[in-house]
A and B are shown apart, each in its own frame.
Chain A
Amino acid sequence: MSVTEIARGYSPPREAESAAGSSGPARADLVRLTPAAARAGRVPRWLRRATGPVVLVLLWHLASITGLLPSEVLAGPGTVLASAAKLIENGELQAAIVVSMQRAMSGLAIGGSIGVALAVISGLTRLGEDLVDAPMQMLRTVPNVALIPLLIIWFGIGEAPKIALIALATAFPLYLNVYAGIRGVDQSLIEAGRTLGLGRWGLVRHVILPGALPNALVGLRYSLGIAWLALVFGEQINATAGVGYLMANAREFFQTDVIVVCLVVYAILGLAVDLVVRILERIFLAWRPSFTGA
């Protein structure tokens, strides 16, 4: 059989042909493959994903208006919305958010700076590692919240212990991730940098720190999550302003609607800062091969 015979569609004789007694070549069962675009259902994905939460809120609403869920236990969504509108109208909610935000961000700024600075010291130098890493690894196992009594003794009950708690809590995730990032930089890139004539500082600036950036952003994300958690605990310490204060007040008067509003605010603030980190990743990690766009 020549090449041209094959190319012209020559097919070898089949045993099946005589067995089946058919005249033409036996045809396998064929299925038409549909491209993904045509395969997608009629309901868009976002709509399907929105269904779950909407159903939950509807059930909540039904339970409230039928009296199945008394408002002392949990106010209905209508009441929650109304009190949210009222709190926004008289400016209480905004003021509380600003105060809470400031606490979380100043705590993060202080704790984050300390965490990153220590990570750079112990990541870049052997001496720093010996001096810094062991104590940090020991301290990180202490639950931050357990330090509240000490913080109150040291800093009183004003803003300081709240910010100190957040700072303490946020320092560790950043420390651990930046340290791991620095130590995880591809050795072959460092070697390449050296052959290109980069000195110690040049290597740190052009190779090691950019290489540690993905981990640093992961650390930032953890830190932000923990900052919020620490904020909730911190605001239980005799707060006179902030979302936690609003909540504590509402507890005194059994205002479950206000408590729910505060919970929602905490959730939204958490989501918002997470979005900020995603945007930062988009800007600073555009070079990453694995990055496909958040």
Chain B
Amino acid sequence: MATQLHRRLNAPAAVAVRGLSRSFGDRRVIDNLDLTIRPGEFVALLGASGCGKSTLLRILGDLDPEFSGEVTVPERRAIAFQAPRLMPWKRVWLNVTLGLPGRPDRARAQEALEEVGIGHRADQWPKVLSGGEAQRASLARALVREPDLLLLDEPFAALDALTRLKAQALVAELWLRHGCAVLLVTHDVEEAVLLADRVLVMKDGIIAHHEEIDLPRPRDVADPRFARIRGELLDWLGVRQGAPH
């Protein structure tokens, strides 16, 4: 099991996880898990709710030190959560620069906000942003740190369908430009296939399945190959398809 994911290891890994375990009480949510993410690779992590995928992300984000095993991650990481988690008492641009060393750099914040398409919202309070705009601000705040690893914890789950499509396209575009490794935790199979180089299915505390997605980008949901991969992944997730391929 330990070697099945370690193909194409010609570059030093962005994320290297060996024998990772994490228990809550006597429930072993992550059980001797191995995972490697290459630099610049976009990895989507699928799994039923409660399967431990968010726990894994929190461990990689150094938010949960109660694990055992060996975990190596880049020093420069950024996280975008399901809720945007903007500080309501800071203007949008000050939210973007929060935590950066030195004085708040307005120009840098503005640039990051322009990149996600909400440059005109820089001086607003977070309370007036729409859900999509707040999530974009949260992305800008993550990317302004120029991370080597971007962790996305179901960032589109709370958005409405149309906003989600736009946000997904934006993430694809930002990833191409920044070239950072991305781990996207999601329960949306279509989203995973649309965005990722590789889709992992987490089950029983380990990576039960991984699927390289070599469809050309931008990907088309109507592509039969897309549909086939989605069907396989749904099978792995234990969702029986009406018409199996």
The interface residues of chain A lying within 8 Å CB-to-CB of B141 are: 196
The interface residues of chain A lying within 8 Å CB-to-CB of B79 are: 192, 195
The interface residues of chain A lying within 8 Å CB-to-CB of B117 are: none
Q: Are A213 and B89 in contact (CB under 8 A)?
A: yes
Given A188-B81, A189-B85, A196-B99, answer yes or no on A206-B127 (Cβ-Cβ < 8 Å): no
Q: Are A202 and B126 in contact (CB under 8 A)?
A: no
Cβ contact of B88, chosen from A191, A193, A198, A289, cutoff 8 A: A289
**A251 contacts partner chain B, Cβ-Cβ < 8 Å:** no
The interface residues of chain A lying within 8 Å CB-to-CB of B126 are: 287
**A211 contacts partner chain B, Cβ-Cβ < 8 Å:** yes
Q: Are A288 and B127 in contact (CB under 8 A)?
A: yes
**A77 contacts partner chain B, Cβ-Cβ < 8 Å:** no
| Chain B contact residues: helix, strand, loop or mixed | loop
Given A189-B85, A206-B90, A210-B87, answer yes or no on A195-B98 (Cβ-Cβ < 8 Å): no
Q: Are A202 and B99 in contact (CB under 8 A)?
A: yes
Cβ contact of B98, chosen from A188, A191, A206, A289, cutoff 8 A: A206
Bound together, the chains give a CA A202 to CA B77 distance in angstroms of 18
Bound together, the chains give a CA A210 to CA B118 distance in angstroms of 25
**B125 contacts partner chain A, Cβ-Cβ < 8 Å:** yes
| Chain A contact residues: helix, strand, loop or mixed | helix
Q: Are B85 and A210 in contact (CB under 8 A)?
A: no
**A286 contacts partner chain B, Cβ-Cβ < 8 Å:** yes
Bound together, the chains give a CA A192 to CA B100 distance in angstroms of 13
Q: Are B89 and A196 in contact (CB under 8 A)?
A: no
**B78 contacts partner chain A, Cβ-Cβ < 8 Å:** yes
- Number of B residues whose C-beta is below 8 Å from A? 21
Given A189-B87, A206-B87, A289-B127, answer yes or no on A198-B99 (Cβ-Cβ < 8 Å): yes
**Which among B98, B99, B127 has the highest number of chain A CB atoms within 10 Å?**
B99
**B83 contacts partner chain A, Cβ-Cβ < 8 Å:** yes
Given A191-B63, A287-B126, answer yes or no on A198-B98 (Cβ-Cβ < 8 Å): yes
The interface residues of chain B lying within 8 Å CB-to-CB of A86 are: none
Q: Are A194 and B127 in contact (CB under 8 A)?
A: no
Cβ contacts B89-108/A at 8 Å (1 or 0 each) = 11000000011100000000
The smallest beta-carbon distance between A180 and chain B, in angstroms, is 17
**Which among B83, B87, B89, B127 has the highest number of chain A CB atoms within 10 Å?**
B89
**B179 contacts partner chain A, Cβ-Cβ < 8 Å:** no
**B61 contacts partner chain A, Cβ-Cβ < 8 Å:** yes
The interface residues of chain B lying within 8 Å CB-to-CB of A286 are: 125
**A224 contacts partner chain B, Cβ-Cβ < 8 Å:** no
Q: Are A210 and B98 in contact (CB under 8 A)?
A: no
13 contacts between A and B (CB under 8 A): A188-B81, A188-B83, A193-B87, A193-B99, A195-B63, A195-B78, A195-B79, A197-B99, A197-B145, A213-B89, A287-B126, A288-B88, A289-B88
14 more contacts with CB within 8 A, not counting A288-B127, A289-B127, are A188-B83, A189-B87, A191-B85, A192-B81, A195-B77, A195-B78, A195-B79, A196-B145, A197-B99, A197-B100, A206-B98, A213-B89, A287-B90, A289-B88
